[in-house]
Structure 1
Amino acid sequence: MSMVSAPTPYLEEFFKIAVPYIFPLIGVACIVEPYIMTDYAPLLLGTLMILGGIYSHLEAIRHKTYSELANVDMATSLMMVVVGSIILFKRDNAIEFMGYVWGLLGIIKGARLFDQSIYYAYIKQKWLLKVFWGIANIFLGVFLLIDPAENFSHHVVILGFELIAYSAQHLNVPSFLMNKLKEIKAFPRK
């Protein structure tokens, strides 16, 4: 089966730069100055959701994920573009909306982690950590749904840690650091 080539070079380049360099900086800013970052959250998250949704949608087309009924890549990417657009449209009044969306997504993610933990327990693999993260995601999601405007800044701090962890995961920090150490050792000293 041949792959359909989608015109995504600009977005691919953006994510090659954003994930290892821009996301960690935004993550640190979210941790250090959550209230200031809350003010900029609609612009940042709305834009990132739209760009991420477009990129994911084009990748889904390129990899023909629509050929499997159970795959939801195209639906998820379309949802990201729509929600990101609403956030940008509501910009000054988007925090409460973002809190509701973020809370619902947290509960959905927690429920999926529960599903995965049951599956991993069934096939006798490590599952306890998934249960813990599932409970944490559901708890944080409920916390946001109860009072999204009041609890949003706390979640910005969590977002900061998530952005740093996501970047480290995709940058493959251990091998990146080892390569840098090898470069330093290979560099002749005076």
Structure 2
Amino acid sequence: MRERSNIGAGLCAAALLLCALSFASTAMAQEWTTSLVDIHQGSPLSDKARGLGNGGYELQGGSWVSFSHWYHASWVDMHVDFLTQITPDTGFLWGFGTGEQAEKYSIAPSLKFGFLTQTHPNPNSTLSLSVTSTIGGALTEKPCVADYGDLGSYSVNCRLAAGEASPEETLTHLVNATPERLHLWLNYRVTF
């Protein structure tokens, strides 16, 4: 199995940090303030993981096995975001995600870094730009061990174990997903 590299996300985060530090050097005399911007539970990856719990299969003896208990987490990934103001019009965006885990999947903890700047083209308008990068936070589905009787036991994708695919083929369908790594937001606001 080939591992994916997150070098691009790391380089982007480093570039954002360097950019923010260059702005910060001009504002060293000003006192920085940090504010809570957002706190929420859940994410598109949490929703995807819960969706994996839909369905089930019937065992050879006729009993039903539901996927829901394998894909139910007692804690949903919580995200907390902060803004550290450097100047009246610039700041660092930063935060973290706690991650989440159930029997057959996990979402890794994550870190978010970014930068926000704004300008006022006229007294009634604001043009703002923010760039954030997320490190970590990947969703990884875990395999099961299935007993095929006389054929032996094999590592399989839990959701596909009762299908017609070979055990090795089911493993290629395990979910491995990453969150949105880079977010660019441009906003123009006019007040009346």
Which TM-score applies when normalising by structure 2?
Answer: 0.24
- Higher RCO structure (Cα 8 Å, ≥6 apart): 1
The structure carrying a bigger helix percent of its residues is 1
Bigger Rg, which one: 2
Which structure dedicates a bigger proportion of its chain to strand? 2
Q: State the TM-score, normalized to the length of structure 1.
A: 0.24
